[in-house]
Chains A and B, each alone.
Chain A
Amino acid sequence: MNYQEFKDYIVEHVKDYLSEKYQKANVEITEIHKNNNFKLDALTIFLPEENICPNIYMNDFYEHYKAGKNIEEILEKIAELRDIHDGQEILSTDDLLNFEKIKDNIIFRVVGAKENESRLSDMPHRLENDMAIIYQIMLKKPEDGITTVQIENHVMNQWNVDEKKLYELALENTQRELPATFLHINEMIKEIMRNNFMEINLNTMSDDDDMEPFLETLFQEAMEEMPEERIPIFVLSNDIKMNGAAAFFYPDMREQIARQMNGNYFVLPSSIHEMIIVPDNGDADYQELKNIVNEINQTQVAPHEVLTGEVYSYDRESKQLMLAGEKVREAAGKSTDIKGSLHQKLKEAKEDVKKGQKNRQPKAKDGLDR
Chain B
Amino acid sequence: MKNIRTDLEIRTSNKEVLRLATYVQKITKKNSTDKRGGKLV
Contacts and interface: CB of A to CB of B under 8 A. Distances in A.
Given A189-B20, A232-B41, A55 B11 contact: no
A93 interface: yes
Contact of A145 (B8, B18, B28, B39): B8
Q: Which of B18, B28, B39, B41 has the most CB atoms of chain A within a 10 A radius of its CB? A: B41
Interface in B1-41: 1-24, 26-28, 30-31, 34, 36, 38-41
A195 B16 CA distance: 12
B3 A52 contact: yes
B4 A93 contact: yes
Interface string A238-275: 00111100000000000000000000001010110110
Given A233-B41, A271-B19, A288-B40, A146 B9 contact: yes
Given A284-B40, A285-B40, A192 B17 contact: yes
Contacts of A193: 13, 17
Given A46-B3, A270-B20, A54 B8 contact: yes
B33 to A, nearest CB: 10
A53 B3 contact: yes
A106 interface: no
B27 A292 contact: yes
Contact of A231 (B20, B22, B24, B38): B24
A289 B40 contact: yes
Nearest to A188: B20
Contact of B8 (A46, A147, A195): A147
Given A189-B21, A231-B24, A292-B30, A51 B4 contact: yes
B4 A231 contact: no
A150 B9 CA distance: 13
Given A46-B3, A185-B20, A188-B20, A81 B11 contact: no
A79 B40 CA distance: 48
A210 interface: no
Nearest to B29: A292
Contact of B7 (A150, A270, A289): A150
A102 to B, nearest CB: 12
Given A96-B4, A270-B19, A300-B19, A144 B10 contact: yes
Contacts of B41: 231-233, 266, 278-279, 281, 284
A51 B3 CA distance: 5
A295 interface: yes
Nearest to B19: A300
Contacts of B15: 300-302
Interface string A74-113: 0000000100010100010100110000000000000000
A229 interface: yes
B19 A54 contact: no
B23 A276 contact: yes
A186 interface: yes
Given A60-B12, A196-B13, A300-B22, A278 B27 contact: yes
List of 4 A-B pairs having minimum Cβ-Cβ separation, nearest first = A196-B13, A145-B10, A278-B41, A54-B8
5 contacts: A46-B3, A196-B11, A241-B16, A292-B30, A299-B22
